[in-house]
Structure 1
Amino acid sequence: MALGVAISFSSAPGAKADAAGKGGDYVPIDSVALLDTRSGVGGTTGLRGAKSVTTFTAVGVGGVPASGVSALMVDVTAISPTANTFLSVYPDQTTRGSSAMDASIGEVITNSAMVKPGANGKVAVYNAAGNVHIKVDVVGYFTSVTGSTGSGFVPVNHTRVVDTRTGLGTTAGTLTGGVRTANIGGGGLVPSTATAVMLDVVVIGATGGGWVTVGSSASAKTAVDYVKGDTSMGMAVKLNADGSRNVTLESRGPAVHVAITVQGYWTGSPTTGAGLRPVPATTLYDSRIPSGAQPIPANGSIEVAVGGTNGLPTRGIAAAALNVHVVSPTGGGHLTVAPLDGTPITASTANFPAAHVARSSLVVTKVGTEGKVRIRNHSSGTVHLVVDLQGWFADPTAFLPTESFARSTALQGEPADGSSAGVIVYAHTDNTGQVRVVHQQNPDDFSSFQHIPVFGAEAFTGQPSLNVLGGSKQMQVTALHTTGAAWTGAQTAANTATWGTTGNLGGTMAAPPVAVTLADGTSVIFAVDVDGRLWHYRQSGTGASWKSLGDVDLAGGLTAVKIDIGVRLVATSTTGTVKTAVYSDGTLTAWTDLGGNVTGVPAAFLNQGYRTGVVARAADGSLVMKKQELGGAWPSAWATVGTFTAAGSPAAIVDPALGRIVVVARGADNEMYRVYETEQGTGTWGEWLRLYDNPGDPSAATAATDPTIAPIQNSAGPGFVVVYRNRNNATIALDRRFATAAAAVAAKKTPPTVSFNAHIVPAPPA
């Protein structure tokens, strides 16, 4: 079976920071304690035990409004735990996510976190082990809708702006109590209009425990609690409106040096910069898994994918909010976190001492090509790393236009009982962007259909894809949202006419996805982005995500054919040639360029075993074909498929009864035509004929879309159906018939007369 899609990508006007109404603008406030179990602030007094959950009200208090809040920026402090532990901070009444911070026995340590309030306005804190006091301070909040308040975020390459060892940005010399002024402007790095700044603050060379605060006033400051050695923490700091970019450093404890790195800033307007999209705290990477995995070596690095995971886009991520945990370091040092292909970063983050159980630090960083970051271990020893995602900042992105009269898709399901023929399902995206599914319960009865809209009022574009999920035999529909994300929905049970939405898979694609089910039952979705990069999404196990298969300059439309060793992918390149590669077990072979000067989406079909044939529309409108030779090689020249000028992309199949190739295409008169090989395997062609020649019903004969071919099985045996839509959005399904019942048996000696019986599926009522 072959599946093909086509869509043109055009740039719509880009949105401002949050013009889509999703909010995410930041409002800094003076630091306020929402929870302190030592004093009872937040409603809980006393040590919190192992596996305890402590909840507190997070909205409508301390300068945080009672509504319109999508997330909070908080500082979480573990105070003198009696066992090595970790704290998780998450929306109340939801499933607990990954940890916000790690703390060792007896230490007082702090980390920042971005967390959504629960539906009841509360936040929960989980303590893993031992007894501990917990303190949570709020320093700002993010809006849920764009309004007149708040600021968008602008990430910068991590840049050191203050260092008391050298006098950078402040007076040189250790902090030994008292206060000191520092300038975090970085020579214009942080503009005078910024309202807040995201910093990484490092306390260096402590001989014991203490704390350092960084703030623009006595009430607008954030504290980093430190222990012996080096400690660092990512924090958001409110800035004064005077444009000075000055902050005050105050310390209590032994003499220490302080270094500060800017990771980004919030602008003075909600219409500039990027808005936060909070997510449930989720682990992206853990070097300890699987059991026995090797740690990151000294001066070694890892790549961590952010884009395409957890429903995130693969483009348009201005920055990612990551919580980085250094576990069991064998030497002291620090990390650098940078975009995969960006400017090398020298400024440290997540500083850690040797032989420490674990150390956590919030890091906000740009992401690179394919949405990845590179984290390097700058130490003489090994470390394990755990990287959690807390949210991401959304760049302005273009919406895809809704394609008018996109191709339909058809697929026959697998029979649930193993004997009767499965239902036939037709799917298309109408001109308003709604995805519609049509059920034909009985493959012999083309008179009874059911229309099922899926995905509600969401807007989609292009041809949807259908595949049967392994094991359950439920059919799945996959469609391209106008945001570029791929959405899936599936039957609630095999062959039923009820469907549910199974998820927004994320991604930022320029052409509709194509889904196939591999021989082992794994469902895989392929799609191409605006750069011509191919992505795949394997729907198996936990943590499924979009992963790149390389930038090969594909034009968008993609066709997939299942073969013996995997899936053959066929596509048009940006230079108008046809490219093909084989996907197997998650990997892709090198691409073969078949040459040509073609447009649209090539059709592909199995021919003589698992060899592939390809039909494409040349630039002059003629149809050309290449078929793999014995041994898998491709001929150098394209052969013309008869004399015909096509108006769009073709469809092709080997007739399962005749063993002859049939090609179908829309003509310049918007009628559908077909041509057969004169004999099996000859590559010579008969006459191009109208597929449906019924002068009494011209509305059905006139096509508004390119055709799709799907193999079907009914009481007459194996066959196929050609599907397209007319300008009334009615689906036309034509099944191949023979002149007599005995003709198919005699096909090898006397090719029978082939006709196509048309069935009109009315458009759904308005």
Structure 2
Amino acid sequence: MRKTNRVLAATAGALLLSGLLPFQSALAAGELPKLWNFCTNGWGGPLFDPAERAVFVPGGEDAGSGCWINLTSPDSGKNWIGTDLQLTLTAESVKAAGYSPQQLAQMLRVRTNFSNTEWGEDWTARRWTVHRDGAMTVRIPACTNNCMGVFLQLSGAPREGSTELKAELRATGPGYDPNPMPLTFDYFARAGTKPVTFGTPGTFVPVTPTRLLDTRGGLGAPAAKVGSGGSVNVGIAGRAGVPAAGVTAVVLNVTATNPTAGSFVTAHPHGAARPTASNLNFTAGQTVPNQVTVPVGADGTVDLYNHTGTVDLVADISGYYLEGDSGLRFTGVSPKRLMDTRDPWLNPGTPERPFGPVGSGGTITLDVAGKYPGAKAVTLNVTAANPTASSFVTAYPHGAARPTASNLNFTAGQTVPNQVTVPVGADGKVEFYNHSGNVALIADISGYYSDTGARFVPTGPTRVLDTREAPGKPLGEHKELDIQPNSWKYGIPPFGVTGVTMNVTATNGTAGSHLSAAPSTGCERFQGMWPEYSNLNFTAGQTVANAVTGRLPDLNYCGSNVWADAVSIYNHEGSVDVIADVSGYFLQD
């Protein structure tokens, strides 16, 4: 949960009711409705007339500053918003800001809500339009439900230096005073913050899972294990239908097998500094898969680094992100169980496939588009439970030939989860194949790709949680904690972000348990009710990582000027340390 700039609304209402800030008097006959507003600098600052002083925008301050905008009508001083509004930064001040208009449009985030909603819960991110002369405009559409005003909040990314941005606010609807109201925004650097490097937004292109790397047989690299402190380079661009240029990030299922020691693997763009985060954690002799979303280096490749001992690495591509808007966009959902072969209500069985586990060489089909119309690819957390033999599971589009790639690898008796992103078939379904023995399969959806939704911005691994350092104690039994990844301190805009991709690691667990991640849509996410889905399953003492795609909810009011728009992580049994590294975010634009 975060504190956000709600002092504006609360103080405005109190002052209006008390008469300290009286409603505007009725206009003279024939006089057009005029804009009027007041602003506050930072959290809890005093209200002021923006015609008299600048509105501060401290770089790297999530809450930023805000203004309350209103119109005075000729109808006995009534106040309401019934017209589109337009906020424009002048071309001259944008040119003098030290950044291009396109950069500034990424750095300055704007959101609004209307006062007719209780506590203004309908916060909506607004997008800048860059004009040919360099001016930048945000359009605020008219309220259609008797609004008393509009709350506008402005937050700026960390920056170097400072600049004054001259702006004009005007009503654009017919019958309103067209004269603009001048404003000045003082956008300045804040001590202790570093400028943000923005990734290139892209859309998703799913592919039928295809193997790009297998060090056991020399596919994509020499037939040799990756040594201690060594890396293997994986070519992405120009392979498996991936274009030679324009690729911003890739989705891989990476598997570590035949390791000689406990170690970890880190995926990162070739040519970039290796981050401290890890993607796979394993012990000697284990076979461990994990889905990885990683930016692609300038040469179209990624590196996989092994820390200790020797290990064979396998990498299967399931999709990639491409600059522009020619691919698919992401829609996150609250996690929901779609398949569980142990549950006769979810999977009662059919004459063709009776109820129960998936047998050796058997398959089970999941209808995705029937529940999520328009879905062309889906992100699922798939769990293999109660296997009777060592085996692997492959997810692929229903109706397509089964690929040689795998998504889950497990031994008899293991419970193994892995995030899977897979295209759906022409009939909107996904097929799951089990190689050997019998196994129960569970699938929980976290989102899907279609023609509408949000674009993906890769960041590379950024640590947003490590309970070993803060709060300095493990997550207890039936306890939850919130992560606030959409913050400038992690290089992610606080407004307009609908979800994140993360690698979540459980370590030092005292009991066999599972972690569940979900959007914190309320002030207490689970409220004493245990979630039915899971993202990571682990035994006491085990270190396990899994990819998690988490939806960020709309801002919800929690009382005392505290608002919730976080991701919650819940632990079921014992205590466990939790680590989370964000690899990118979904931006609604």
Q: Normalised by the size of structure 1, how large is the TM-score?
A: 0.47
**Partner residue in 2 for 1:275:** 455
Aligned residues: 384
Alignment of 1:15-34 (within 5 A): 23-34=201-212
Q: Deviations for 1:442-496, whole angstroms, at most 9, x for unmatched residues?
A: xxxxxxxxxxxxxxxxxxxxxxxxxxxxxxxxxxxxxxxxxxxxxxxxxxxxxxx
For residue 15 of structure 1, report the CA deviation from its aligned partner.
Answer: 9.3
The 1:16–1:138 alpha-carbon spacing in structure 2 relative to 1, beyond 3 Å, is farther
Q: Distance in 2 between matches of 1:177 and 1:359?
A: 26
Return the match for 2:495 from 294, 303, 315: 315
Alignment of 1:649-660 (within 5 A): none
**Partner residue in 2 for 1:179:** 362
Does the CA-based 8 Å contact 2:389-2:438 persist in structure 1? no
Q: Deviations for 1:210-234, whole angstroms, at most 9, x for unmatched residues?
A: 2111211334675211244211111
**Partner residue in 2 for 1:393:** 586
The 1:340–1:38 alpha-carbon spacing in structure 2 relative to 1, beyond 3 Å, is same
The 1:79–1:348 alpha-carbon spacing in structure 2 relative to 1, beyond 3 Å, is same
Return the match for 2:568 from 374, 377, 382: 374
**Within the alignment, does 1:333 sit opposite 2:501 as a pair?**
no
For residue 18 of structure 1, report the CA deviation from its aligned partner.
Answer: 12
Q: Secondary structure at the match of 1:314?
A: coil
**Partner residue in 2 for 1:225:** 409
Q: Distance in 2 between matches of 1:36 and 1:326?
A: 27
The 1:365–1:17 alpha-carbon spacing in structure 2 relative to 1, beyond 3 Å, is farther
Q: Secondary structure at the match of 2:490?
A: coil
Q: Deviations for 1:644-690, whole angstroms, at most 9, x for unmatched residues?
A: xxxxxxxxxxxxxxxxxxxxxxxxxxxxxxxxxxxxxxxxxxxxxxx
Q: Which runs of 5+ in 1 are unaligned?
A: 397-766
Alignment of 1:25-174 (within 5 A): 25-97=203-275, 98-147=277-326, 150-167=327-344, 168-169=346-347, 171=349, 172-174=355-357
For residue 185 of structure 1, report the CA deviation from its aligned partner.
Answer: 2.6
For residue 207 of structure 1, report the CA deviation from its aligned partner.
Answer: 5.0
For residue 43 of structure 1, report the CA deviation from its aligned partner.
Answer: 2.2
Quick one: higher RCO (CA 8 Å, sep 6+), 1 or 2?
Answer: 2
What letter matches 2:432 in structure 1? L
**Partner residue in 1 for 2:436:** 253
For residue 11 of structure 1, report the CA deviation from its aligned partner.
Answer: 6.8
Q: Distance in 2 between matches of 1:18 and 1:255?
A: 54
- Higher helix proportion (structure 1 or 2): 2
Q: Distance in 2 between matches of 1:16 and 1:218?
A: 44
Alignment of 1:477-496 (within 5 A): none
Q: Distance in 2 between matches of 1:382 and 1:205?
A: 24
The 1:316–1:215 alpha-carbon spacing in structure 2 relative to 1, beyond 3 Å, is same
Does the CA-based 8 Å contact 1:25-1:276 persist in structure 2? yes
**Partner residue in 1 for 2:383:** 202
Does the CA-based 8 Å contact 1:325-1:385 persist in structure 2? yes
CA-atom RMSD in angstroms: 2.8
Return the match for 1:189 from 371, 389, 411: 371
Q: Distance in 2 between matches of 1:373 and 1:11?
A: 33
For residue 332 of structure 1, report the CA deviation from its aligned partner.
Answer: 1.6
Does the CA-based 8 Å contact 1:212-1:252 persist in structure 2? yes
**Partner residue in 1 for 2:420:** 235
For residue 96 of structure 1, report the CA deviation from its aligned partner.
Answer: 1.2
The 1:358–1:293 alpha-carbon spacing in structure 2 relative to 1, beyond 3 Å, is same
The 1:39–1:69 alpha-carbon spacing in structure 2 relative to 1, beyond 3 Å, is same
The 1:22–1:16 alpha-carbon spacing in structure 2 relative to 1, beyond 3 Å, is farther
The 1:58–1:91 alpha-carbon spacing in structure 2 relative to 1, beyond 3 Å, is same
For residue 93 of structure 1, report the CA deviation from its aligned partner.
Answer: 0.9
Does the CA-based 8 Å contact 1:349-1:361 persist in structure 2? no
Does the CA-based 8 Å contact 1:349-1:363 persist in structure 2? no
Deviation beyond 6 Å, 4+ runs, structure 1: 11-21
What letter matches 1:190 in structure 2? Y
For residue 320 of structure 1, report the CA deviation from its aligned partner.
Answer: 1.0
For residue 208 of structure 1, report the CA deviation from its aligned partner.
Answer: 5.2
For residue 351 of structure 1, report the CA deviation from its aligned partner.
Answer: 3.2
What letter matches 1:350 in structure 2? N
Q: Distance in 1 between matches of 2:245 and 2:272?
A: 19
Structure ID, larger Rg:
1
Does the CA-based 8 Å contact 2:368-2:375 persist in structure 1? no
For residue 284 of structure 1, report the CA deviation from its aligned partner.
Answer: 0.9
Does the CA-based 8 Å contact 2:506-2:538 persist in structure 1? no
For residue 383 of structure 1, report the CA deviation from its aligned partner.
Answer: 1.0
Does the CA-based 8 Å contact 1:169-1:183 persist in structure 2? no
Does the CA-based 8 Å contact 1:93-1:118 persist in structure 2? yes
Does the CA-based 8 Å contact 1:181-1:246 persist in structure 2? no
**Partner residue in 2 for 1:606:** none
Q: Distance in 2 between matches of 1:197 and 1:178?
A: 24
Does the CA-based 8 Å contact 2:417-2:536 persist in structure 1? yes
